């Protein structure tokens, strides 16, 4: 895939994750956010990752980075990241405009 786009919700998720981890270690927070971004860049096929079974969207996928779910879909060679949510949390009922 050539480019990734992050929804506002996903950007807020990253900022909250970074702030939470930074309470203990700013360096670890930066490293973890880099891991998430690198994992998204490593997506090479539309069917990479697993289907998000909570939603009835065949093309909605997720990968795990640590304990966090990165929820995305591939649209015209672009990766759209919708949310980055800790695996222990419930997904919202809606992920915005899908």
Provide the pLDDT confidence category of residue 87 given band limits of 50, 70 and 90. confident
Provide the pLDDT confidence category of residue 94 given band limits of 50, 70 and 90. low
Quick one: CATH architecture of 3-86?
A: 2-Layer Sandwich (3.30)
- Domain range list for the chain: 3-86
**pLDDT in the model for residue 1:** 55
Contact 44, 67 (CB under 8 A): no
Provide the pLDDT confidence category of residue 82 given band limits of 50, 70 and 90. very high
Provide the pLDDT confidence category of residue 96 given band limits of 50, 70 and 90. low
**Residue 36 CB neighbours (<10 A):** 21
Q: Which of 33-37, 56-60, 65-69 has the lowest mean pLDDT?
A: 56-60
Burial 49-78 (b: 16+ CB within 10 A, else e): beebeeeeeeebbbbebeebbbbbbbeeee
């Amino acid at each position: 895939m050539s480019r990734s786009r992050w929804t506002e919700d996903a950007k807020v998720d990253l900022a909250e994750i970074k702030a939470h981890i930074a309470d203990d270690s700013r360096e670890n927070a930066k490293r973890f956010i880099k891991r998430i971004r690198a994992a998204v860049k490593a997506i090479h096929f539309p069917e990479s990752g697993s289907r998000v079974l909570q939603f009835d969207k065949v093309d909605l996928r997720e990968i795990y980075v640590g304990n966090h779910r990165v929820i995305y879909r591939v649209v015209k060679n672009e990766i759209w990241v919708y949310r980055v949510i800790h695996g222990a949390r419930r997904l919202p009922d809606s992920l915005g405009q899908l």
